[in-house]
Structure 1
Amino acid sequence: MASPSSSTIKILQANLHHSQTATAQLRKWLEVQHTAIALIQEPWVRAGQIRGLSNLGDFCCRDQSAISIQQPALNMEITLASVYMPEAEEPPPYDLARLVNHCEREGKEVIIGTDSNAHHPLWGMDTHNDRGKTLFDYLFTTNLSLINTGSEPTFVTRRSQTIIDLTLASESVAELITGWHVSKEASCSDHRWIRFDLQVCIQETPPKRNPRNTDRATYTRTLSTKLAQLGDPTNYVDTEQIDEQVSYLTQSMIDSYQTACPETAYQKTPGKQPWWGAELERRRKQVRKTLNRAMNTCADEDWDDYKAAKSRYKKCIRFRSTRDGASSVVTSSPVNKQTG
């Protein structure tokens, strides 16, 4: 059995604002990642179903989902949760509090990515609102730490730049989080991407043999050579000689098979993106460029340029989605448990 090795899981926290374009941006990022988790709030929904993603774990309720990662080498189980806190409800949501209580009671670590809709100086705001004060008071009753650093806004519109998207983690797993930052990549949502890495131990997949790949000619040639060394069965005088020859025959067959079908290691292959092309890449870069300019100048004309660039990008994505089938329906499933 292969021993676990240190590795990094890339984590992206994103509020998609129910946008098809923002979903396409996220999907493009996921398709080139080999070990990644996305904590999503407000996914793109049409006809009562989540669209644009191939899978999403569903935990507990409409506004909360989670997965559990087993880490025996680190002697911990890590729950990662994506939570949306509706403005009409006082934070924290009931299901979030229940999840946090469960993790504390069972000794499980937890990482939470949330759109809190709350303002407070603790996470970089100049002022606070009632929601922020209530959430602030709640956090001090838990073992959760705030991972946010700096004062870079996570929610950006023409009239407002605020910090409402938070990353929370229990004490032990917080030490495994590195590189937390608000991404400058255009998310095509009012909410900007949050990215960070989680240091974990991953069980490497050992090399395996695939019988279907056996070279039969090599097997036959190798085994024939070995069998030529067997003695004449009519000359065997006792059971000991027979047992020796049977053992030789068995080992010869095994050795021949292993020669004709060598072990192969698991190969990571890049994600397939048949729906992505040069035009989409050009428009994506234009959206990012105009967004950065609008955030820096706060000028109405620059926000209009950003809106127009995003609109053109959205139309292009819709065209490619229809032509190449980029959009797919999500099937919901219970909490996933992944073994590291």
Structure 2
Amino acid sequence: MEHLCSINGQPCQPDKTLGCCRAPFGSLQPDQIKGLNLRDFKLLHKQAYKPRTYILVNNKVKASLILNLSSADLTIIRVTLYDGKNIIVASGYLPYEVTDPGRDLTMLFNYCKNEKLELILVMDANAHHTIWGSSNINQREEVIMDLLLTTDLSILNRGSEPTFVIRIRQEVIDLTVCSKGLLQKIKGWKVSSEPSLCDHRHLRFTFEINKVETEYYRNPKRTNWDNYRADLSRDLNILQFRLGSRQSTERAVNMLQDSIVSAYKENCPFIERKGTGQCVAWWNANLSKLRKSSRKLLNKAMKSGLEQHCESYKDA
């Protein structure tokens, strides 16, 4: 599995890539990995025997490995965005032989919740479920779905294009999820058609980040009116108005207007407009109701396991 995340729709190039997540490389050590140009990138992973997850990050991206949470099968990094906000990006592998695949994920989810950090998680889950495009449902999905239902994470997988392809079998076992606060910023999730040179296909998506533009305004209540009157009086004493013709009158009006505006701007400085929180204008009560209804359908589908309930959830 290879997840490639680009910034603002640009391809994964050294000066434009937010980061690339790759997992797993099987039992290879980092110095045995071939075909990666690390000149402009750094390879982050836990120093362990035969690590199976890595995250490839552009050198221009401010990112650091969270050692105490990472393992050979789960690489977790903290990424600082343009606006100074931190998010968590994690690359995971849930091997078949692990009896409790949700242990490390639970620690990750709790960490993000306690630290109030939003998450992008990409993983080779080895779990089947029709909700994320698999052809069937296996027992491992119960652990994964139970965990996801306790969080605000949303599944980014779209369609049923296989992410794992071998000669005798094709299936969707790779999963991409993110916090709801990042859902509107992640665009174009897809299974790439380009050759991956392994049995897992490339999964691509774009993480759209708008650089913060500071907005300024003037508040008339904060105008220094004493200085305003003094500056305006000084300018008017200098100006010479000649009223007689229509053109001279219009010229005098323009000079007076310019003096008023100039005195006001000099004594009412710009103020930086502060943010108003993370509320969005398009959210409303009806959307909240629909979200609650779809969550109920998902719970019902998970409890019953019936195909008709799964279809009802997908239709919603």
Using structure 2 for the length normalisation, give the TM-score: 0.51
Q: Distance in 1 between matches of 2:73 and 2:8?
A: 24
CA contact (8 A) 2:185 2:208 kept: yes
Deviation at 1:37, TM superposition (A): 1.3
Measure how far apart 1:71 and its partner are.
3.2
Shift, 1:9, TM fit:
5.2
Q: Secondary structure at the match of 2:209?
A: strand
Contact 1:90 1:131 in 2 (8 A): no
Between the aligned partners of 2:112 and 2:82, the Cα distance in structure 1 is 17
Tell me which residue corresponds to 1:111. Answer: 120
Partners of 2:141 and 2:115 lie apart in 1 by 28
1:180 pairs with 169, 180, 189, which one?
A: 189
For residues 190 and 212 of structure 2, the distance between their equivalents in structure 1, rounded to whole angstroms, comes to 28
1:61 and 2:71 correspond: yes
Worse-superposed segment, 92-101 or 146-155: 92-101
For the 8 Å contact 1:44–1:51, the answer to whether it is kept is: no
Residue identity opposite 1:159 in structure 2 = I
* Contact residue 155 and residue 164 of structure 1 kept, 8 A: yes
Deviations 1:253-294 (A, max 9, x none): xxxxxxxxxxxxxxxxxxxxxxxxxxxxxxxxxxxxxxxxxx
Post-superposition CA distance 1:132-158 (Å, at most 9, x none) = 122112211111110101111100111
Secondary structure at 2:90 match in 1: strand
Give the residue type in structure 1 aligned to 2:183: A
Structure 1 47/140 Cα, relative in aligned 2: closer, same or farther at 3 Å?
Answer: closer
The aligned residue for residue 17 of structure 2 is 35
Cα pair distance change 1:130/1:44, threshold 3 Å: closer
Aligned to 1:222: none
Label 1:81 to 1:9 Cα distance change in 2 as closer, same or farther (>3 A): farther
CA distance in 2, matches of 1:125, 1:160: 12
2:33 corresponds to which residue?
51
Match of 1:8 in 2: 7
Give me the whole-angstrom Cα distance separating, in 2, the residues matched to 1:35 and 1:153: 25
Query: Conserved in 2, the CA contact under 8 Å of 1:84 and 1:116?
Result: yes
| Pair 71,33 (structure 1): closer, same or farther in 2 beyond 3 Å | closer
Q: Which has the higher contact order (CA 8 A, sep 6+)?
A: 1
Q: Distance in 1 between matches of 2:15 and 2:191?
A: 18
Letter aligned with residue 135 of structure 2: D
Partner of 2:204: 195
CA-CA distance at 1:100 after TM superposition = 1.4
Query: C-alpha distance in 1, partners of 2:106/2:9?
Result: 26
Q: For 1:34 and 1:93, how far apart are their aligned partners in 2?
A: 34
State the partner residue of 1:70: 80
Distance in 1 between the 2:82 and 2:16 partners? 21
> Aligned ranges for residues 294-313 of structure 1 at < 5 Å?
none
Counterpart AA for 2:77: I
Partner residue of 1:147? Answer: 156
Counting aligned pairs with the same residue, the percent is 35
Give TM-score scaled by structure 1 length: 0.48
Give, in angstroms, the shift of residue 49 of structure 1: 4.8
Q: Which segments of structure 1 move beyond 3 Å, counting only runs of 4 or more?
A: 29-33, 44-50, 90-93, 201-204
Answer yes or no: is the 8 Å Cα contact 1:183–1:195 preserved in 2: yes
Q: CA 1:120–1:91 in structure 2 vs 1: closer, same or farther (change >3 Å)?
A: farther
Give the AA of the match of 1:39: C
Residues 1:107 and 1:48: Cα distance change in structure 2 (over 3 Å): closer
Amino acid at match of 1:43: F
Decide whether aligned partners of structure 1 residues 86 and 33 sit closer, same or farther in structure 2, where only a CA change above 3 A counts: farther
Alpha-carbon shift at residue 193 of structure 1 (Å): 0.4
2:204 match: secondary structure: strand
Q: Which runs of 5 or more residues in structure 1 are unaligned?
A: 1-6, 12-28, 205-340
Distance 1:50 1:82, change over 3 A: farther
Q: Secondary structure at the match of 1:39?
A: strand
The amino acid across from 2:126 in the alignment is N
Instruction: Give distance in 2, aligned partners of 1:119 and 1:141.
Output: 19
Root-mean-square deviation (Å): 2.7
Deviation at 1:78, TM superposition (A): 1.2
Per the alignment, in what secondary structure is the counterpart of residue 117 of structure 1? coil
Aligned to 1:102: 111
Instruction: Tell me how far 1:122 sits from its aligned partner.
Output: 1.2
User: Judging changes above 3 Å, is the alpha-carbon distance between structure 1 residues 9 and 100 closer, same or farther for their aligned structure 2 residues?
Assistant: farther
Matched residue count: 180
